[in-house]
Amino acid sequence: MRSRDALTADLFDVPCAAPALPGSINFSREIAATMSSALKACPADRIEVAARMTRLMGREVTLSMLNAYTAESHVDHNISLERAIAFDVATQAQALLAFFAGKTGCGILVGEDALLAEWGRVQQAKADIAEREKALKERMRGKR
């Protein structure tokens, strides 16, 4: 029987997070920097991103709010999860999702990458079934 690759992580396994130490999840500045970088890479300007977030949420997100979220000096202006999702959609990127995933020991796959990963999982399952089938056939031949 073929052995599994012990060095490659299963993309679909959920990692067990270690208990967090007090103060270890203080990411305000990193989140602000992540958002700032995402805005710089976004073809839309800050005003348009705030307008998109407002439309997506049905509640106003002002330019001032967006500026506060992206200022590393404003550590008390933390974006909510709902607004973070709207931000990622409005910027057409997954900057905050990738940040969150990375901090929890995960990764993200988007679009075709996600399909390719699932295809690879199906191929592996098919190979495993074929190996089991072959082993069963050999055992059945030995009993005759």
Q: What is the pTM of this model?
A: 0.70
pLDDT at 57: 97
H helices of the chain, in order, are 28-41, 46-57, 63-70, 81-91, 95-103, 112-142
Where the chain has pLDDT below 50, the residues are: none
**pLDDT digit string, tens, across residues 124-143:** 999 999 999 999 988 888 87
Give dist(CA 65, CA 77) in Å, integer.
Answer: 8
pLDDT at 133: 93
Q: Are 67 and 61 in contact (CB under 8 A)?
A: no
- Give which of 10, 122, 119, 5 is closest to 130, Cα–Cα: 122
Q: Who contacts 34 (Cβ-Cβ below 8 Å, separation ≥6)?
A: 95, 96, 99
